[in-house]
Amino acid sequence: MALYLPPWTNDLEPNQGNVRQWLDNLYAKVQPLEQVRWNQSNIDTLFYAGEQSYVNRYFNFSPNVSYQNYYFNLIRNPINMVTGYQRQHRKSIVYQAADGADPQTTDQYTRLIKNVIQKEGINEDYSRSCELAAVAGLNLLQPYLDFTGDDPAQSQLKVKVWEYNSFLIDPYCRDIFGLSDCQYIWCQEYITKNEAEMRFEDKASVIKPMTGAPQRYGSFYFLPENYNMARNDLMVLSYVWYKWKKKKKRLYSRKLNQFFDFGGGEENMEKLLYHIDDMEEVMVNSNIWRVAVVLNDQLMFQGDNPLWDGPECPFIGNAWDYEGHINYYQLRSRSLTFPMRSPQFLFNYKIITNNDITSATINAGWKRKIGAVANEDNLKRSGQGWDVIINEGYELTDCEKIIPSGVPESDMALAQQMADLIYQTAGIDLENWSGQNDKQISTLTMVLKQAANLLVFQKYFDQWDLVLKHLGERLLQLALYNWNAEKVKILIGEEPSPFFYSRLFAKYKTIVEEGIETPTQRNLQAQKMLEINQTFQREVIPASLIIPHMDLQGKAEILQYLQQQEEQASKAQAEAQNIQHAVEAAKLQELYSKAANNVAMAKERYGRFESNVGLLEERISEVSKNHSLSVKTKMEALEKMIDVIAKFGEIETNLKMHDIQRLEMEDQRMEDADKEKAKKDAISDEFVSKIMNGMGQQNPSQEQKQMA
């Protein structure tokens, strides 16, 4: 009777009564497709490891049994070149403020996550994930909290790498790195009973009667624990994560028409709603992730994601080549090993057959007629001084040296062609990577060649950078949701900023970027800093900022010495500046005194000008007085003239009057000329005084210009 399993229903959740059927239904739906990925990844892993017997079976090649012992693996080198470059140029996680946001908060984020990464060795986990992607294709990264370590109260932040054979994933997922469209992920591992009792203390009564039975519950048959299952007493632990919907309390802004998550308690929400009129509390349907933890066939836990309540997937995918649109499922997920499998097998096969040709041929000895050689023992000896004597009645051609047959040149060229194809199919040109074919190559040329060769792998390095950014987002999310301010204060060495626990700030105002991490990268940065100083021909970047990026021993002593030198130099510079300021102040006082002296001289000259004007007025008053005296004299003369006219006659008198008037006009003209001359002299004196005063005011500025 055929086993019928009902189709997967999206509205069904697991419980203790249906958990076994629920897992079987999910396995029946996903396993036929995921088995193809498992098989291809397993073949890639065996090729990378150099397992010859499976390779021969895979290519339907059945030579003698002895051939199974030979395998000349050339795949490891190109893969290790790529993964080694990633390790040498490993990047760190850096948080940057967006749109003028608070940089103090993002700096605290960076210090916190860097502390965690260095302490827990997350960089090594990330590099191992990249290596697994190159070797076998798809794997998963899962940040999680470990309560079994040094901090059972608030846990330690770690990252687990799920290999290709330890999970089933939604086969129709397209966003393989962020897993935004993934619907479910099933991970499986094997643990001992003691480990199970430690993890699920509240279920100890259920775990005690359970026995290890991986042959019954171990569905992931590419896991190494599934081999020799009859003697395996481990227990099967499954984590089934699936996307779900639930009513969730959120904040809504009518002005922005946008929903926001809230990360505080009810009392904080009331305060926020009181101070921000635009915000209101609403209940909406939100995507969440739920998890069902099953030990053998017992449900240990079933509920919402205990790490955070957001819609983000708890996993980050890391793949080499993943193209979800391909309809052949064995080609969707490919590794760097995949294109090198065929040339690797053909190279190995050709090397073995060439060796067989050489081994199967008589390559030493003599061919001779019976009795043709008198001293046959000499035929077995090597070296110089041994003669081969031919008996009488025989010809020299009756004894000939056997010439060994060599491997055809075409076979050797074909083996070399297969070896070259391994690197060519991987996209690696050894000459561009090392410049080994050109002994006179310059360093700059070698760097340019390496950069050009790395363009082939730029897609994969960009993908790994994207994985690192997703990992940085998840790590920060875990820390903000699960650690209090006291723990954060210990890790970063200061109080968290007011925006530290703001989910709005972490989501909308924080950008995750990659930064330098390895000593090689820091050395390159130090070299660039030195080049900047050389370009500008001055110390743009001080030595105390360059030394920390160099790979040196005793950097603490060097930095202390440099800081002392910089302090002494700054003190000397400050003292020199004070002396210069004092000199400039003295020169300025001197200029002020000269200016005051010039102003006093100008005032003195102006006083003389005013006194000259007074003298002019005095002279003018005297002229007026003279005019009055003249009028009086004229009146007296007129009186006498009337008397004269009466005595001498009018004609003679008129003639004398004309003479008198002429004399008066001459006196008036001379008087006007004297006035005009006095005015001109006064104006001239005033002009000279103004010129002198102006020169006195311009001298300080000219002296200042000369000083500048």
Residue 701 has pLDDT above 50, yes or no: no
More confident residue, 3 or 167: 167
334 DSSP 8-state letter: E
Max avg pLDDT among 49-58, 213-222, 269-278? 213-222
Beta 167-169 vs 156-162: how paired, if at all? unpaired
Q: Which helix (H) or strand (E) holds 335?
A: none
Closest CA to 188 of 208, 160, 209: 160
What pLDDT is recorded for position 1? 36
Distance CA 138, CA 147 (A): 28
> Which pLDDT score is estimated for 706?
43
Backbone φ/ψ region at 362: left (φ over 0), alpha (ψ -120 to 50), beta = beta
**Window from 98-102, 331-335, 498-502 with minimum mean pLDDT:** 98-102
- Per 3-state DSSP, the chain is made up of helix, strand and coil in percentages (nearest 5) of 60, 15, 25
The rounded mean pLDDT for the chain is 77
pLDDT digits (tens, 9 = 90+) for 398-453: 788 877 666 677 777 877 888 888 888 887 776 655 545 555 555 556 566 666 66
Pull the structure tokens for residue 159.
């990252």
What does each C-alpha distance from 532 to 89, 529, 545, 552, 679 come to in angstroms? Answer: 22, 5, 13, 21, 73
Query: What percent of the chain is predicted at pLDDT more than 90?
Result: 14
Token match 């990844």: residue? 41
Q: Does 707 have pLDDT greater than 50?
A: no
Residue with tokens 């400039």: 584
- SS3 state at 75: coil
pLDDT at 3 over 50: no
Higher pLDDT, 352 or 230: 352
For residue 250, with 0-12 CB atoms within 10 Å meaning exposed, 13-18 middle and 19 or more buried, which class applies? middle
Res. 485: pLDDT tops 80: yes
Tally of CB atoms within 10 A around 535: 9
For residues 601 and 2, give the distance between their C-alpha atoms in angstroms, rounded to a whole number. 126
pLDDT at position 680 over 70: yes
Q: Does the pLDDT at position 139 exceed 90?
A: yes
Q: Which tops the pLDDT comparison, 567 or 650?
A: 567
Put simply, whether the predicted model's pTM sits higher than 0.85 gets the answer no
pLDDT at 129 over 80: yes
C-beta atoms surrounding 72 within 10 Å? 14
Task: Read off the pLDDT of residues 453-478 as tens digits, 9 standing for 90 and up.
Answer: 677 888 898 899 899 999 999 999 89
Count the alpha carbons within 13 Å of 547 in the hemisphere toward its beta carbon.
Answer: 15
Tokens of 637: 């003369």
pLDDT at 167: 93
Predicted pLDDT of residue 447: 60
Compute φ and ψ for 249, nearest 5 degrees: -80, 125
For residue 29, name the pLDDT band (cuts at 50, 70, 90). confident
Considering only residues 188 and 72, tell me which one the structure prediction assigns the higher pLDDT: 188
Angle between helix 458-482 and helix 122-136 axes, rounded to 10 deg = 140
**Cα distance between residue 213 and residue 226, in whole Å:** 10
Most confident of 165-174, 250-259, 382-391, 552-561: 165-174
Decide if pLDDT at 625 tops 50: yes
Of residues 6 and 626, the one with the higher pLDDT is 626
Per-residue pLDDT at 380 exceeds 60:
yes
* 64-68, 200-204, 340-344: the lowest-pLDDT one: 64-68
- pLDDT class for 508, splitting at 50, 70, 90? low
Distances (CA, A) of 495 to 97, 105, 147, 157: 19, 10, 24, 20
Distance (Å, whole) CA 13 – CA 309: 18
Would you say residue 148 has pLDDT above 90? no
Residue-wise pLDDT tens digits, 291-328: 999 998 889 999 898 888 888 899 999 999 999 888 88
**Residue 386: predicted pLDDT:** 76
Whole-number pLDDT of residue 24 = 85
pLDDT digits (tens, 9 = 90+) for 628-656: 677 667 667 666 766 766 666 666 666 66
User: What whole-number distance in Å separates Cα of residue 562 and Cα of residue 291?
Assistant: 56
| Alpha-carbon distances of 551 from 94, 111, 324, rounded to whole Å | 21, 21, 43
